[in-house]
Amino acid sequence: MTAKKELQVRAIKNGTVIDHIPADLLFKVINILELDKCSTSVTIGNNYKSDILGKKGIIKISEKFFEAEEINKISLIAPNVKFNIIKDYQVVEKSVVEAPNNVEGIVKCMNPKCITNVEEVYTKFKVMSSSPITLKCHYCEKITDHKNITIK
């Protein structure tokens, strides 16, 4: 690890550092985790150089720890994002996102003739495959694949 990376990760005392976010997906991640409603301090950085991603984003949230369910929502758009749990300036746990079994309310069904795109219906999907992510709509029963996933 370079000194610079360590500094980015360790900049908060307690909380979560979300790393390896593809730069173009940073704001989607912010929306999915509802960070606009977060009351503790949030630091957002984007377009850092990354060997793997080219450009990446990092989010640091003080005094906030996410449930596995919330973390797994991120798998729908960015399967390689890392969540670092920070306690007393130390990384105590690293978790990689995993695909959930069911997805509710986050993703839009790609079928324009689906009731969820016509009326106000909370979307529900069954995860048919986790890599690449493949979702089956609970209502119209059509497949929404990873290329067509859009976040509501």
Partner 1 sequence: MDNRSLVSIDDYTKEEILEVLNRAAEFEKNPNSNILEGKVISSLFFEPSTRTRLSFETAISRMGGKIVGFTDASSSSTSKGETLNDTIKMVSNYSDLIVMRHPIEGSARWASEVSDVPVINAGDGANQHPTQTMLDLYSILKTQGTLENLNIFMVGDLKYGRTVHSLLMALSHFNPTFHFIAPVELEIPRAYKIFMDKNKITYHEHTEFNSIINDADILYMTRVQRERFADPLEYEKVKNVYILKNDMLKDTKDNLRILHPLPRVNEIAIDVDANPKAYYFEQALNGVYARQAIIAKALDL
140 is in an annotated binding site: yes
> Using CA of residue 100, residue 136, residue 109, residue 138, what is the dihedral sign?
negative
Q: Looking only at residues 77 through 116 of this chain, which bind partner 1 when binding is defined by CB under 8 A?
A: 109, 111, 113-116
**Is residue 74 at the binding interface for Zn ion, with CB under 5 A as the rule?**
no
**Is residue 67 at the binding interface for partner 1, with CB under 8 A as the rule?**
no
Residue 47, SS3? strand
Q: Looking only at residues 110 through 129 of this chain, which bind Zn ion when binding is defined by CB under 5 A?
A: 111, 114
**Is residue 140 at the binding interface for partner 1, with CB under 8 A as the rule?**
yes
State residue 92 phi and psi, 5-degree precision: -100, -15
Cβ atoms of residues 72 and 99 within 8 Å:
yes
Which one of the spans 7-15, 42-50, 75-83, 132-140 is the region binding partner 1 (CB under 8 A)?
132-140
Q: Count how many Cα atoms sit within 13 Å of the Cα of residue 104 in the half-sphere of its side chain.
A: 4
Q: Which helix (H) or strand (E) holds 77?
A: none
In angstroms, give the least distance from the CB of 145 to partner 1: 11
Q: Which residues contribute to the site for partner 1 (CB under 8 A)?
A: 109, 111, 113-116, 118-121, 137-143
The binding site for Zn(2+) comprises 109, 114, 137, 140
